[in-house]
């Protein structure tokens, strides 16, 4: 029996679903070259579908070269995932993404920033400029659009205390794209990732065939062992919220020097402090050890798919070389649009207005939640994290879900730390929706 599950409610036709799942079984190595598949008749009976479904899927996979039909003998796997030193190897299978149920209206997630309607003219202007500009012919500079790098260098100097030449910046398609660019250039070895931590980072490390070593998110690191990199969110630990103390930053850098490892600084939402000025970037302390990753996902929108990477010179060269050869890079229209938003001050306005909104919403969340749960870090950014037992967190999450809101459990960010609670984002909803969600949450917690 093949381990496949067909979803009859999906809009994807059943033969396509079946073919996709068999392809995936070959890719992860569950099915290997020479394995015999059940006959289309037997598989159709197992899955409770018509034989036409299994035949169509087998025909498709045969045409694509995954399977071969041997006359009178059956259907066999012909292709296997090839492994060689240069190709990424999956050591541990990435976990399935957690997605909310259909029908949920609003996400109180950490990934949807506030977008002030007053900024719409700036957004439209940016895209009007894209529409009349002439795109570069052929493949452009793999570091990204020069004017954009100049504007980014100026802004990172002003807001993050980083003194950068535009040529030191590589424009990426976001934080995770920056991580994908970096990982192949590091020598073999595991990568330390905060736990709880940014799920996309741990998954990306696994996808590139490297082991993830869990670093308890609020502990001082004195030793990185044989790790080649440590992925951290020093300005606002994701998702516990703490700022990495200066002594811990220095200890981590020292540990990285001893291990000849790099620190990967994910500086995703540091501009959204409402009590103090943003904490300066860790990269300021040692540019030769830190790979700095920035993103437009929080200050503009994630769908722009833009970010920036600053790496020590040797890694910068390696990353650029591979990005040139592989034609990796950020899409020109997005880069050109971000240039307008930066140049004309729209981005600064967007950050200021979002900061005002978060500064007003964060205490409202705190007021509602503090009778029932413990705040994990200082109030900052576009979400806050609340510690409470898993059972209670689930009960509250379910109540919010019934009211039409999706909220993440802290346990889904934790790999071995075992922490439980709720991560409540407040950027992607209206004030009224936030109130309704909090009423649902606190109603369940009070019971």
Residues forming contacts to ligand PLP in the complex (CB under 6 A) are: 110-111, 174-176, 198, 233, 238, 266, 268, 295, 297, 302, 307
Cα–Cα distance, 26 to 336 (Å, whole number): 41
Nearer Cβ to ligand PLP (289/298): 298
Minimum distance of ligand PLP from residue 179's CB (angstroms)? 8
Read out DSSP for 266-277? E-SSTT--SSSP
Query: Both ends of the chain: CA-CA distance in Å?
Result: 46
Residues 6+ apart with CB under 8 A from 204: 176, 179, 180, 183
Cα–Cα distance, 49 to 46 (Å, whole number): 8
Nearer Cβ to ligand PLP (240/339): 240
Cα–Cα distance, 13 to 15 (Å, whole number): 6
Cα–Cα distance, 215 to 234 (Å, whole number): 13
Nearer Cβ to ligand PLP (56/110): 110
CB 403 within 8 A of CB 442: no
Token digits of residue 396:
């509250």
The residue number whose beta carbon is nearest to ligand PLP equals: 174
User: If DSSP states are collapsed to H, E and C, what string results for 219-257?
Assistant: CCCCCCCCCCEEEECCCCCCCCCCCCCHHHHHHHHHHHH
Nearer Cβ to ligand PLP (109/168): 109
Minimum distance of ligand PLP from residue 159's CB (angstroms)? 17
Nearer Cβ to ligand PLP (171/262): 171
Minimum distance of ligand PLP from residue 419's CB (angstroms)? 16
DSSP assigned state of 134: P
Minimum distance of ligand PLP from residue 181's CB (angstroms)? 12
Minimum distance of ligand PLP from residue 349's CB (angstroms)? 21
Minimum distance of ligand PLP from residue 294's CB (angstroms)? 8
Nearer Cβ to ligand PLP (58/114): 114
Using alpha carbons, select from 423, 365, 415, 437 the residue that is nearest to residue 239.
423
Minimum distance of ligand PLP from residue 369's CB (angstroms)? 20
Nearer Cβ to ligand PLP (268/405): 268
Cα–Cα distance, 291 to 168 (Å, whole number): 11
Nearer Cβ to ligand PLP (44/290): 290
Q: What share of the chain is helix, strand, coil (3-state, %, to 5)?
A: 45, 15, 45
Minimum distance of ligand PLP from residue 298's CB (angstroms)? 7
């Amino acid at each position: 029996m093949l381990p496949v599950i067909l979803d009859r409610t999906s809009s994807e036709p059943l033969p396509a679903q079946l073919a996709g799942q068999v392809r995936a079984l070959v890719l992860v190595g569950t099915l290997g070259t020479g394995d015999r598949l059940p006959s289309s008749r037997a598989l159709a009976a197992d899955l409770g579908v018509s034989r036409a479904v299994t035949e169509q899927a087998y025909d498709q996979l045969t045409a694509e070269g995954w399977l071969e039909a041997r006359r009178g003998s059956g259907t066999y796997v012909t292709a296997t995932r090839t492994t060689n030193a240069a190709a990424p190897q999956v050591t541990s299978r990435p976990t399935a993404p957690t997605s909310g149920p259909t029908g949920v209206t609003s996400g109180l997630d950490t990934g949807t920033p506030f977008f002030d309607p007053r900024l719409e003219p700036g957004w439209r202007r940016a895209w009007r400029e894209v529409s009349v500009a002439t795109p570069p012919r052929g493949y452009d500079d793999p570091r990204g659009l020069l004017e954009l790098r100049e504007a980014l260098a100026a802004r990172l100097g002003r807001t993050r205390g980083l003194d950068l030449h535009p040529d030191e910046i590589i424009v990426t398609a976001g934080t995770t794209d920056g991580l994908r660019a970096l990982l192949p250039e590091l020598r073999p070895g595991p990568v330390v990732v905060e736990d709880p931590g940014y799920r996309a980072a741990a998954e990306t490390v696994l996808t590139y065939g490297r082991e993830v070593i869990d670093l308890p998110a609020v502990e001082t690191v004195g030793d990185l062992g044989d790790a080649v990199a440590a992925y951290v969110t020093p300005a606002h630990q994701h998702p516990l919220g703490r700022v990495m103390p200066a002594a811990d930053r220095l200890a981590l850098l020292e540990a990285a020097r001893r291990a000849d490892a790099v620190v990967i600084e994910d500086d995703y939402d540091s501009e959204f402090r409402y009590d103090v000025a943003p904490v300066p970037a860790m990269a300021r302390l040692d540019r030769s050890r830190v790979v700095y990753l920035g993103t437009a996902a929080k200050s503009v929108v994630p769908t722009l798919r833009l970010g920036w990477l600053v790496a020590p010179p040797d890694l910068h060269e390696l990353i650029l070389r591979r990005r040139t050869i592989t034609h990796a890079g950020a899409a020109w229209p997005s880069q050109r649009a971000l240039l307008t938003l930066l140049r004309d001050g729209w981005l600064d306005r967007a950050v200021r207005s979002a900061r005002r909104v978060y500064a007003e919403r964060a205490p409202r969340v705190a007021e509602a939640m503090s009778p029932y749960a413990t705040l994990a870090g200082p109030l900052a950014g576009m979400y806050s994290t609340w510690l409470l037992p898993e059972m209670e967190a689930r009960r509250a999450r379910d109540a919010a879900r019934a009211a039409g809101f999706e909220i993440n459990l802290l346990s889904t960010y934790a790999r071995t730390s075992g922490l439980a609670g709720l991560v409540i984002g407040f950027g992607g909803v209206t004030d009224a929706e936030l109130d309704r969600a909090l009423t649902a949450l606190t109603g369940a917690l009070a019971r």
